Amino acid sequence: MYFKRGVLVISFSEYQDLASELNHHAYLYYTLDQAEISDLDYDKKYRILQDFESQHPHHILPHSPTQRIADKPLTSFPPFLHSSPMMSLNNIFNESEFLSFYKRLQKELNQAQLSCVIEPKIDGLAVAIRYENGILVSAGTRGDGKTGETVTQNIKTIRSLPLVLKKPVSIEVRGEVYIKKSIFNRLLKDQFANPRNAASGAIRQLDSKITAKRRLDIFIYAGDKTLVGSHTETLKTLSELGFPVIPYVVTAHSEQEIFKGIQTLERDKSAFDFYTDGAVIKLNQFSDQETMGYTQKAPRWAMAYKFKSEEAPTVIEDIVVQVGRTGVLTPVAYLKPILVGGVTISRATLHNQEEIQRKDLQIGDRVLVHRAGDVIPEIIAVDQKGLQRRPFVMPDHCPVCGGPILKEGVQHRCMAPFCKAQLKGRLLHMASRKALDIQGLGEKLVSQLIDQGLIKALPDVFKLKIFDLMQLERMGEKSADQLLKSLEKCKTISFSKFLFALGIPLIGEKTALSLSFRFKTLENMMAAGFQEFKNIPDIGEKTALLLQETFQNATFKELIDAFHSLGFVLMEDRVSQSGPLSGYTFLFTGTLSGLSRAEAELKVQEKGGKIQRVVSKGLSHLVVGENPGSKLEDVTKRNLSGAHIQILSETDFLTLIHS
């Protein structure tokens, strides 16, 4: 080490030592919260490292602290193949369900007492990370459990995660990426709905410089099971290697101890600097885990105990009526913003006037709110009546267009045919991914186009010219040109997607596909009558009557003629009578993550398979998504009684239809 023209020059060996020293200080600071040197001294050493690398770019170490951020943005994420399935956990919600789980473990393991661990369920994003000879080489998201996305550069931006381990071992670890409460509340709460969305979006940024700005963190909760014999020993080994391991882990040996551990985590969760929505209970000994085994999607030796939804008091500042694409008026409560479960809530849907009256809600009341299913904001009840509370009354006329209102059951509907609110809703629906998928046509642009009179009916969007778009706020020539190209591309579309895009009440993706398969063309469908519609599976009398009235309506016929005159070409949805799935019948349960239910069913039919709606004797395959319903339990019972219905995960299903 010497100076040359005022610049400190170091050898490659000294550079290696300096990289290791800086990684050590980063571990002390970000993982242990124990700094040994000042920020100024760290920055000086970091600058020396940068100077060496700028002069010797071919000698840069992959675990150098400068490599936490890539120089150039990626163009896409390559696939990441998991070494073993990266499963999710089944959920339980109360003490009774926990006891059932515990007693099942006791029975199948034939043990009176079980060694279990309880740890917080981090509300983050699951990832897998690989090290070779102690150096971080790759990382990927969960994806479908077998294949995720490679996000190595973004993972490297996490300062608490070591780029090089304390021992030169080769290992794959699993962890949860999250954002600390303190970081989110100070830097990001005005930009994102919640920390999980911010973390998830950051991991999937093509530019790691943007990821670095989110200040991500990570907890490692699993590693190589061959190294030791239990989960607690694994965490100890991982910590010794330099990983930030999952905190607040408790070992318990009875159902009482375990449930006490769960209650303690739920009681103390507000004090943690991370968001948690539950506790994970798992068998500690790996030998016990192997004995219990796995289902298609989850380990049988672990469960996630979901905490009760967090409640918080706030005030109803106003109740405003919104008008949807079908004309239905929906009252929405505007709330004094409140943080609930890591999410700022400022609005909650009240559904209808009867719901408001049932809960005795009035403007000015202090109410309790939570997130139903940890997602949807909901007012539970009045916490304290306001001193100057004002009742809400549904308007006599549409608040947007002034049109007449018709009461249908508990719903109020605007009957004006040219209501701008309905037109905005219908246009956004038509532009959505599951419909025409019009790229660049978002909510703000739709509002501008309709408010300025450029669009008065759905087909008008396909009549737009570049000079129409250029006069709009924040619309440049490039964006305008891209939108026009997207609109032109949408003119060739499948019959079912076009039908779904029209936004006819009661016509969702499934019904649109059923109509497409039955009638083949729009002309055949519009000539059909009530009985023909009613004979289609899943279409009842109400929907059949609606279809007949809609297709015989003169205004609707004019709408279809307008689309035809614009050059729309409707492609027939393909359904094969023969193919690799011919003779097989499929039923779906739960939520699919990679594609919609309608898209999945279409793929089956394209391969010659048939779709079933209920569990019955002729069923050959059950495809299970997230949060499956009673169909899974029914099929399991039938198989135990001698049936041979194959149960497929979403990954298995995708493999089958692409083979």
Phi and psi at residue 181, in whole multiples of 5°?
Answer: -55, -45
Angle at 331 between CA 405 and CA 386, to 5 degrees: 130
127 plus 267 within the same structural domain: yes
Q: What number is the average pLDDT over the span 291-307?
A: 88
248: alpha, beta or left, given left = phi > 0 and alpha = psi -120 to 50?
A: left
Note whether 246 and 333 are same-domain residues: no
The CATH number assigned to the domain holding 13 equals 1.10.287.610
Which pLDDT band, with edges at 50, 70 and 90, does 7 fall under? low
Angstrom CA distances, 330 to 358, 447, 495, 499, stand at 16, 19, 31, 25
Whether 197 contacts 126, CB under 8 Å: no
Say if residue 208 is in the same domain as residue 144: yes
Q: Which amino acid is at 379?
A: I
Angle formed at CA 217 by CA 211 and CA 221, multiple of 5 degrees? 130
CATH code, domain carrying 405: 2.40.50.140
> Among residues 442, 475, 490, which one ends one of the domains?
490
User: What value does the mean pLDDT take over residues 430-457?
Assistant: 91
Instruction: Flag whether pLDDT at 183 surpasses 70.
Output: yes
Give yes or no: residues 160 and 265 share one domain: yes
Domain's final residue, options 541, 571, 601: 571
Asked if residue 251 is part of any domain, the answer here is yes
- Per residue in 503-559, pLDDT tens? 988 888 878 888 888 888 889 999 999 999 888 867 888 889 989 999 988 888 999
> CATH number, domain at 216?
3.30.470.30
**85 domain-assigned:** no
> What is the structure's pLDDT at 40?
72
Q: How far is CA 204 from CA 213, 276, 484, in A?
A: 13, 22, 28
pLDDT at residue 236 greater than cutoff 90: yes
Answer positive or negative: Cα dihedral of 526, 532, 536, 542.
Answer: positive
Residues marked active site are found at 121
Taking only the tens place, the pLDDT of each residue in 562-604 is 999 999 999 887 665 667 888 889 999 888 876 777 778 878 8
Do residues 323 and 233 share a domain?
Answer: no
CATH number at residue 563: 1.10.150.20
Count structural domains, the chain: 6
Is the pLDDT reported for residue 3 higher than 80? no
Residue 26 lies in a domain: yes
User: Considering only 58-67, 147-156, 175-184, 414-423, which range has the smallest mean pLDDT?
Assistant: 58-67
Structure tokens belonging to residue 462: 């396909």
Statement to judge: residues 342 and 240 lie in one domain: no
Of 472, 490, 508, which residue constitutes the final position of a domain?
Answer: 490
- For residues 108 and 560, what is the distance between their CA atoms, to the nearest angstrom? 62
E-assigned strand segments in 27-82 = 79-81
Residues 245 and 341 reside in one and the same domain: no
d(CA 237, CA 614): 49
> Bridge-partner residues for 222, per DSSP?
174
Q: Residues 479, 505: one domain?
A: no
**CA gap 78, 128 in Å, rounded:** 14
The answer to which of 1-10, 186-195, 454-463, 539-548 has the lowest mean pLDDT is: 1-10
> In DSSP terms, which residues pair with 10 in a beta bridge?
none
Q: What is the pLDDT of residue 258?
A: 94
Question: For residue 338, which phi and psi values (nearest 5 degrees)?
Answer: -145, 140
What pLDDT shows up at residue 641?
A: 78
Q: Give the pLDDT mean for 411-438.
A: 90
* Residue 31 per-residue DSSP state: I
Which range (45-54, 131-140, 375-384, 476-485) has the least confidence? Answer: 45-54
Give the SS3 label for residue 499: helix
Q: Is 235 helix (H, G, I), strand (E, B) or coil?
A: helix
At 158, the pLDDT band (50, 70, 90 cuts) reads very high
Query: How large is the average pLDDT for residues 217-232?
Result: 91
Does residue 244 sit in the same domain as residue 344? no
| Band (107; pLDDT cuts 50, 70, 90) | very high
The answer on pLDDT for 372 being more than 70 is no
Task: Return the percentage of the chain with pLDDT > 90, whole number.
Answer: 45
Residue 62 confidence (pLDDT) above 80: no
Compute the distance between CA of residue 218 and CA of residue 419 in angstroms, rounded to an integer: 49
Cα–Cα distance, 133 to 121 (Å, whole number):
30
**pLDDT attached to residue 307:** 87
152 with 280, same domain: the answer is: yes
Both 177 and 279 in a single domain?
Answer: yes
Same domain (yes/no): 235, 96: yes
Could you tell me the pLDDT band of residue 659, with boundaries at 50, 70 and 90?
low
Q: What pLDDT shows up at residue 72?
A: 63
Output the pLDDT for position 123: 84
Whole-angstrom distance, CA of residue 540 vs CA of residue 378: 32
Strands 646-649 and 621-624: parallel
| Residue 575 confidence (pLDDT) | 61
Average pLDDT over residues 56-67: 78
Cα–Cα distance for residue pair 273/182, rounded to 1 Å = 7
Buried b (16+ CB within 10 A) or exposed e, 430-459: bbeeebbbbebbeeebbebbbeeebbebbb
Distance of alpha carbon 409 from the chain centroid: 34
Give a yes or no: residue 208 inside a domain.
Answer: yes
Segment 606-622, tens digit of pLDDT? 788 888 878 888 899 99
In a domain, 429, yes or no: yes
Helices (H), 250-322: 255-268, 286-292
Q: In the structure encoding, which two tokens stand for residue 303, read together?
A: 């469960």
pLDDT at res. 33? 61
DSSP conformation class of 29: I
Residue 461 domain-assigned (yes or no): yes
pLDDT over threshold 80, residue 363: yes
* Mean predicted confidence (pLDDT) in 145-168: 90
pTM confidence score: 0.58
Q: Domain holding 621: CATH number?
A: 3.40.50.10190
For residue 36, name the pLDDT band (cuts at 50, 70, 90): confident
Residue 379's contacts (CB-CB under 8 Å, 6 or more residues apart) are 316, 333, 348, 350, 359, 361, 367, 368, 369
In the chain the first and final C-alpha atoms are separated, in Å, by 60
pLDDT at 534: 86
Calculate mean pLDDT across residues 401-427. Answer: 90
391 part of a folded domain: yes
pLDDT of residue 370: 85
Per mean pLDDT, which range of 227-236, 328-337, 641-650 is the poorest? Answer: 641-650
User: Which has more pLDDT, 381 or 62?
Assistant: 381
The pLDDT of residue 239 is above 90: yes
Domain range for 619 is 585-658
The mean pLDDT value of the chain amounts to 87
Give the pLDDT confidence score for residue 74 in this predicted structure: 66
Contact 601, 611 (CB under 8 A): yes
Q: Are 354 and 367 in contact (CB under 8 A)?
A: no
- Assess if residue 622 is contained within a domain: yes
Tell me the average pLDDT across 260-275.
Answer: 92
| pLDDT value of position 513 | 84
Question: What's the pLDDT score for residue 630?
Answer: 84
> Would you place residue 461 in the very low, low, confident or very high pLDDT band (cuts 50, 70, 90)?
very high
State yes or no: pLDDT of 374 exceeds 80.
no
Chain CA centroid to CA 80, Å: 19
